[in-house]
Amino acid sequence: MAMAAANCWFSMLSSSTGSTSRCTLTSQRLFSTSRRPTYFLTSIVKSSKDRNQNPKQKLPRKTPGKFSAESEAITHKLPGRSRDESHLSNVDGQSSWKKAGKSQSTSFRSSGTQRKGNKGVLFDSRDQQVDTGNLQDAAFLNAVVKVYCTHTAPDYSLPWQKQRQYQSTGSAFMIGDGKLLTNAHCVEHDTQVKVKKRGDDKKYVAKVLAKGVECDIALLSIESEEFWKGAEPLEFGRLPRLQDGVTVVGYPLGGDTISVTKGVVSRIEVTSYAHGSSELLGIQIDAAINPGNSGGPAFNDRGECIGVAFQVYRSDEAENIGYVIPTTVVSHFLEDYERNGKYTGFPSLGVLLQKLENPALRACLKVPSNEGILVRRVEPTSDASNVLKKGDVIVSFDDVRVGCEGTVPFQTTERIAFRFLISQKFSGDVAELGIIRGGQFMKVQAILNPRVHLVPYHIEGGQPSYLIVAGLVFTPLSEPLIEEECEDTIGLKLLTKARYSLARFKGEQIVILSQVLANEVNIGYEDLSNEQASERVA
């Protein structure tokens, strides 16, 4: 068995050495037509000495629509799923794809009336300032706390070790039963989490109970009875309407005390979540959101919490675009945790869909009305593969009619992406689909489960797995590894497989030879790196 495995490894190595040439078409070209980079903004505590000593700073390209961070915000370039994500950034917190001491560049591009510099941030925000006279003694402000997190991220290139630890700050708020709510990116790769109440000088150690990477929400608990004395948890409100007033509270950069900004609800729709590379319902607001606001609550005019601040859209062509996780997504996360004792994730139908706006295409598919979306591909790991086929047209979901643009009715006068209905379900729920197949209408049922990723965007448990045999280091391919190794070194063929291939079964991985630790037993193979291990056994 060992000989067969060895033959498999060295069969791969021999074939690799014969085709070491690299395609001149870079991965950037691939991304320009498929997935654009995502930029994360991190409020991080780091000395100027550490920043100046870093020789491998990556400066963001000066193109319209990229993110600009405030004075101490770090910019990270990540591959994303949606082209909309290329302008979205977490307000603060640390991405699991960031390599400590790497990519530590600070962006100082102007956005609107903002003025950025090494010594701080100056901007004109008179339109967004709240008259805090009537909020100074508001009880709900005391439920908002400051989060201090120490992170230790794994080293994906050297998976047996971790990177140098770093610190960041964010916000959180009390929801009762001894629990706090914050953003998942605020406590990414946490080794220690502490919180401090408003007007207090003592920090309390918190425990992370659950992290929802997709929805960017984390649940914390604090055992200290002293912390909860006199505490009043926040009450969740309904989903707001357009132009409803909204107040964002948190602890952003620029000071140590609590900060309050005010605006209105600008838009409610399915939004790209930068941290989780997912698409869920989001609330767009024009209230100022800055690094450190992450995890802080947003209130309506009645003092009810309507969501959690989590990301911003920064562009030279747009101003004052912030995003809040609505209470519908928060409630889904909390109910999922209560049901299962852990976070299991948002379900997916497991199909690739296409709009049906073209009349000729509808006629070809024998769709009589101006509705429905075309099934182009079905994931083998989804339950839908048992009931749906390529070429089917989905015209309803749980008796809700689906339009030809892939939208469904929302809040009486609006329409929203069909994915919204799927996100309201829980893992294991059954959905009834109305479909047209060959001109015939029928109804089928499919069980909804979280999507299985062939190349994961986040590593469960935080630390990547690996195997070392005769100095050959094998590890599963992941998006954090692609980011850390740089896309050009991975190779176009492997990148294409990572982006477009589907998992055939749950648990399938793309295993690569990440590097060779030089030794007399592997002489001649020292230069091999980032090659896919062959499935063939000699």
Catalytic member of 92, 190, 216, 286: 216
With 0-12 CB in 10 A as exposed, 13-18 as middle and 19+ as buried, what is 254? middle
Distance between CA atoms of 167 and 292, rounded to whole angstroms? 12
> What one-character-per-residue DSSP string does 284-324 give?
EE-S---TT-TT-EEE-TTS-EEEEEEEEEEETTEEEEEEE
Task: List C-alpha distances in Å: 473 to 165, 224, 262.
Answer: 24, 45, 52
Distance between CA atoms of 406 and 356, rounded to whole angstroms? 8
Smallest CA-to-CA distance from 310 within 177, 189, 220, 183 is with 183
Q: Which two tokens stand for residue 116?
A: 């950025």
The set of residues, in sequence order, having a beta carbon less than 8 Å from that of 450 and lying 6+ positions away, is 344, 345, 346, 347, 348, 427
SS3 of 191-207: the string is EEEEEECCCCCCEEEEE
Task: List C-alpha distances in Å: 270 to 279, 324, 372, 382.
Answer: 6, 12, 19, 22
Q: Cβ distance 140 to 236 under 8 Å?
A: no
Side chain identity at residue 298, one-letter code = A
Q: Which two tokens stand for residue 9?
A: 């490894």
Catalytic member of 95, 157, 294, 478: 294
| Torsion angle (degrees, nearest 10) of CA 290, 293, 295, 300 | -100
Distance between CA atoms of 349 and 425, rounded to whole angstroms? 10
Catalytic member of 76, 87, 151, 185: 185
Asked if 216 is an active-site residue, the reply is: yes
Smallest CA-to-CA distance from 211 within 270, 156, 276, 166 is with 276
Q: Cβ distance 278 to 212 under 8 Å?
A: no
The β-bridge partners of 220 are 180, 208
The β-bridge partners of 443 are 434
Q: What residues are labeled active site? A: 185, 216, 294
